[in-house]
């Protein structure tokens, strides 16, 4: 969901998963800790970090798998507020992909998270455990408060992984640049109106990001407010640049 790949650092973690090179930038852990500071104790915080790691990795794997189906050799980077699946080398440039293939790649990230959540939910429901939707921003799924699955740590992990996969997927589906939903909106607008598509998708992005920022602040989530306020501002800047009005 982020703009570009960060510079390599000595503290990067490297591994391969299903043949995809994965790099974890140290800032990924820093942001995960900051987001988890409200966790009640150290072991819940560690469980939260693992859940964020798994949730974001599954999301990026979704993008990477569909990129590979389209002939690319992608790699994955996890950093700051999320991750990035980069096309890498391929038979053709990413620009040569048609709009529907690009939309498929964009939807595959949230789709992979939802699929994982669905499999976990089916397992829980089959074993008689309740799952409920936590409304608010972001919307997520949680275990029913009274249910314990296996041990307490496993329960916390399942609860957090359900929340992370669904909430991260839904936030990424917002029609906001450079999130997955923003890419989908741009392709759809361009198909519907080739001349005006970019302009309309940037206006929609600005309004949607502003609305999420406002809702975030109204419910006390200043992080969402700052993040989406920034995205609204970058969409505004991009729009001005696109219309040739700015010095940027």
What is the binding site for Zn ion (CB under 5 A)? Answer: 109, 172, 180
Minimum distance between the CB of residue 109 and Zn ion, rounded to whole angstroms?
Answer: 3
Distance from C-alpha of 216 to C-alpha of 164, rounded to nearest angstrom: 17
Distance from C-alpha of 142 to C-alpha of 163, rounded to nearest angstrom: 6
Taking CA atoms, 161 is separated from 63, 98, 119, in Å, by 19, 33, 12
User: Which tokens belong to 211?
Assistant: 């609305």
Residue closer to Zn ion (CB basis): 35 or 217: 35
Cβ neighbour number for residue 52 with a 10 Å cutoff? 24
* Among the listed residues 71, 158, 162, 147, the one whose alpha carbon sits nearest the alpha carbon of residue 117: 162
Do residues 44 and 37 lie in contact, with contact meaning Cβ atoms separated by under 8 Å?
A: no
Residue closer to Zn ion (CB basis): 159 or 180: 180
Minimum distance between the CB of residue 7 and Zn ion, rounded to whole angstroms?
Answer: 21
Minimum distance between the CB of residue 179 and Zn ion, rounded to whole angstroms?
Answer: 7
Residue closer to Zn ion (CB basis): 88 or 240: 88
Residue closer to Zn ion (CB basis): 47 or 172: 172
Residue with the closest Cβ to Zn ion? 109
Residue closer to Zn ion (CB basis): 66 or 232: 66
Minimum distance between the CB of residue 40 and Zn ion, rounded to whole angstroms?
Answer: 30
Minimum distance between the CB of residue 177 and Zn ion, rounded to whole angstroms?
Answer: 13
Peptide bond into 178 cis (omega under 30): yes
């Amino acid at each position: 969901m982020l703009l570009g790949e960060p510079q390599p650092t000595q503290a990067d973690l490297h591994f391969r998963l299903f043949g995809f090179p994965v790099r974890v930038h140290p800032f990924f852990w820093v942001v995960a800790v900051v987001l988890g500071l409200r966790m009640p104790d150290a072991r819940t915080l560690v469980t939260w970090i693992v859940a964020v790691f798994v949730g974001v990795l599954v999301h990026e794997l979704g993008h990477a798998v569909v990129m590979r189906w389209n002939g690319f050799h992608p790699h994955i980077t996890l950093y700051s507020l999320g991750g990035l699946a980069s096309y890498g080398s391929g038979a053709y440039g990413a620009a040569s992909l048609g709009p529907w293939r690009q939309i498929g790649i964009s939807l595959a990230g949230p789709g992979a998270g939802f699929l994982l959540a669905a499999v976990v939910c089916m397992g829980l429901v089959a074993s008689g455990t309740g799952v409920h939707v936590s409304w608010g921003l972001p919307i997520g799924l949680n275990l029913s408060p009274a249910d314990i699955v296996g041990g307490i740590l496993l329960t916390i992990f399942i609860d957090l992984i359900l929340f992370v996969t669904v909430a991260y997927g839904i936030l990424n589906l917002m029609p906001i640049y450079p999130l997955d939903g923003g890419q989908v909106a741009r392709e759809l607008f361009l198909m519907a109106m080739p001349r005006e598509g970019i302009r309309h998708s940037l206006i929609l992005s600005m309004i949607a990001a502003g609305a999420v920022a406002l809702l975030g602040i109204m419910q006390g989530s200043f992080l969402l407010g700052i993040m989406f306020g920034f995205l609204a501002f970058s969409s505004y800047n991009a729009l001005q640049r696109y219309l040739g009005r700015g010095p940027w």
